[in-house]
Amino acid sequence: MGSVRIGMIGKGTMYLSGLLCFLRDAAMHDLRRLTRRSLPTIALGVVLTCSPCFSADKKSEDGFVPLFNGKNLDGWLIMGKKAGWVVKDGIIHSDGGQGGNWLRTKRKYKNFILKVEWKVSKGGNSGVFIRSGRDLALSPVRQRLVTGYEVQISNARRDDSHCTGSLYGFVAVKPRPDESPDKWHTFEIRCQGNHVTVKSDGLKCIDFDQSTNEATRKKPLKGYIGLQDSHSPKGHYIEYRNVRIKALK
């Protein structure tokens, strides 16, 4: 850990090697009574408690890097109208009927775990694209995606191959996840070789080997990550936040 520098900065504030910790009056009174010999042990305990480097959340997110910085769309390309996208308060927001189409990353990804939080309006429609190409035009296999998959977001009345969590038009969910509107949900999407899994709110709803299906076995194993706009009429919306990815071997 190296040396720890300790100091006091005014009433109720302790300085530990660049970390500011704010203590109650009683704690400060007890701290002043400690000998110099005791301080390093106490300092280590405070650092372990206060420092974000040792938080459970940080540890559980090892290896993940943000795809969205919470401030703007740096690192993304707008594949539609700019008016269809707004970034505010750490959230990517899209309203229906604005022609935002979709966002895609500037680089391609092969094997990865993608985590994203999303919220959609009642009757809304959107999705997360994985291993996608540059174009979402019609494909020869009568599916919207030329390459890759769309992990669907919806709460409309649809079958299990076109509902939230499905690999839209290719793989049905089992079981069906929660599709409640106006509520934050989470996707955890894992792509490794031919194997694709999707967890929605922690529930595994897709566990699929694309090499076992004639319609998917030729799909590429590398492509862009994409976020669809509010693919619905005016009055609907989709929001995204905390978009992050971890590369796998």
Tens digits of residue pLDDT in 46-61: 333 433 333 334 444 7
CATH for 206: 2.60.120.560
User: Which helix (H) or strand (E) segment is 228 a member of?
Assistant: strand 224-228
160-183 b/e with 16+ CB inside 10 Å = b? eebbbbbbbbbbbbeebbebeeee
Q: Are 197 and 223 contained in the same domain? A: yes
- pLDDT higher than threshold 60 for residue 156: yes
Beta strand segments in 34-157, E = 65-66, 76-78, 86-88, 91-95, 102-105, 112-120, 125-132, 149-154
The total domain count for the chain is 2
Q: Are 128 and 219 contained in the same domain? A: yes
Residue 23 within any structural domain of the chain: yes
pLDDT band at 146 (very low <50, low <70, confident <90, very high): low
Tens digits of residue pLDDT in 85-114: 999 999 999 999 999 999 999 999 999 999
Q: Are 81 and 55 contained in the same domain? A: no
Residue 1 within any structural domain of the chain: no
Q: Are 132 and 183 contained in the same domain? A: yes
Q: Are 94 and 39 contained in the same domain? A: no
Tens digits of residue pLDDT in 67-88: 999 999 999 999 999 999 999 9
Q: Taking residues 213-231, what's their average pLDDT?
A: 93
Domain span holding position 136: 65-247
**Token pair of 94 as six digits:** 């899209």
- Per-residue pLDDT at 208: 98
Residue 84 is given by DSSP the state G
Last residue of a domain, one of 59, 81, 98: 59
- CA 247 to chain CA centroid, Å, is 14
Q: Are 77 and 51 contained in the same domain? A: no
Long-range contacts from 55-59, C-beta under 8 angstroms, 24+ separation: none
Q: What pTM was computed for the model?
A: 0.75
Q: Are 48 and 79 contained in the same domain? A: no
